[in-house]
Amino acid sequence: MNLVQFSEITKKYGDRLILNNVNLEVFKGEILSIVGPNGSGKTTLLKIMSGIDGSYSGKVCWGGVEITEDREDFIRAKSTMVFQKTIVFNTSVYKNVAYSLRQKGHYGSELDRKVREALRTVGLQGFENRSAKKLSGGEQQRLSLARALALEPELLLLDEPTANLDLKNVSVIEDVITNFNHYHGATTIIASHNIFQVERLSNRVAVMMDGILMKPGLVEDILRSSNPAYSASFARFENVFRGEAESAGQGLVKVKLGNLQIEAVTGKTGEVTVFIRPEEIIVSNVFFASSVRNSFKGRITETSDLGSTVKLKVDVGVEFTAIVTKRSFVEMGLNIGAEVHLSFKASAVQIL
């Protein structure tokens, strides 16, 4: 059953085209992911779907009924969006969740039940009286998710829900998303650049590049598609490569990426797609011996200042993207052209 339908949605910021004639059907009860690099238009699409952004051309329908400007409150009441950059109130964890419920008219024992159930769902039971501002980044993201789940939305919109989180928090959040969809039947849309997380969570996926949304389909079908448009899209994701895997024994494979060879933990052989999170790659300016299975020497070709961190592109025969703290970047004297060593565990290589 169709829950939300976009028809020829176009969005501009000044002269910049953000969404270009987007058409999309979202089915009730599914988990749909929209995957693409930063700046491709994913967040804007979610904002329109949540009723936050109403300045667009085209038509949005909910359950077959067009959402006009005077009906945006209707869609805001049925959907909740969790942003990538978590914002928590400077009060207790309990009051953070209770605030959004009070805004929806919940009080007393019902409010208390919903708050505690939402915190238990995201693994924050016992945190009720803690300061939300003193939680770790991953815990704050789980709190933000608890606020959304407490409202029991028909449509849950998640913008890069696990970006820059440690593996423990990523695992918790992925389990919460799956269970909430399974037990509550909530339609869920995830905007992400992690195609392997998308493969784990989604019923369908749609690729977005430069404001253009390609036709949704199954993740494995799209990844293995011979369509040149998809191939060009995946080439722009960070640390996603296609290669040939052969067994190396003891649960390992060697994957040939052109003249480069990396090791991964998997039983799959033949043509594979590999992904390494930039945060999993260790950058050093000297070689050091360790148990890490993958280590390469290369040169920095590009740097991007992200505030407290710096994104590096490093050519080691293929181009890898890595993330380092601003402090490490300065202390190691890194810059474009600098020689560095990259290393990452075989278990950090995800295989599809």
Do the domain assignments include residue 351? no
Reduced 3-state DSSP string for 325-338: EHHHHHHCCCCCCC
Range of 271's domain? 239-275
Lowest mean pLDDT: which of 53-57, 135-139, 149-153, 325-329? Answer: 53-57
Confidence of residue 255 (pLDDT cuts 50, 70, 90): very high
- 183 and 322 share one domain: no
- 218 and 252 share one domain: no
Looking at 177, 204, 233, which one is the last position of a domain? 233
- 270 and 287 share one domain: no
| Per-residue pLDDT, 322 | 93
Q: What is the pLDDT of the chain when averaged over all its residues?
A: 89
Confidence of residue 168 (pLDDT cuts 50, 70, 90): confident
- 254 and 155 share one domain: no
Do the domain assignments include residue 188? yes
pLDDT > 90? residue 195: no
| Per-residue pLDDT, 2 | 86
Higher-scoring residue by pLDDT: 188, 277: 188
- 219 and 335 share one domain: no
Cα(217)–Cα(41) distance, integer angstroms: 19
Per-residue model confidence as pLDDT tens digits over 118-127: 999 999 999 9
Looking at 275, 301, 325, which one is the last position of a domain? 275
| Per-residue pLDDT, 226 | 56
Q: Which of 289, 321, 325, 280 is nearest to 306 (CA)?
A: 325
- β-bridge pairing 240-249 and 270-276: antiparallel
Cα(170)–Cα(168) distance, integer angstroms: 5
b/e per residue 273-290 (b: at least 16 CB within 10 A): bbbbbbbbbbbeeeeeee
| Per-residue pLDDT, 309 | 86
Confidence of residue 240 (pLDDT cuts 50, 70, 90): confident
CATH of the domain at 330: 2.40.50.100
DSSP summary character for residue 235: T
Q: Cα Rg for the chain, rounded, in angstroms? A: 22
* Residue 135 phi, psi dihedral angles, 5° rounding: -75, 155
CATH of the domain at 250: 2.40.50
Higher-scoring residue by pLDDT: 163, 48: 48
- Report the predicted TM-score, pTM, of the whole model to 2 decimal places: 0.72
Do the domain assignments include residue 102? yes
b/e per residue 99-126 (b: at least 16 CB within 10 A): ebbeeeebeeeebeebbbebbebbbbee
Name the domain count of the chain: 3
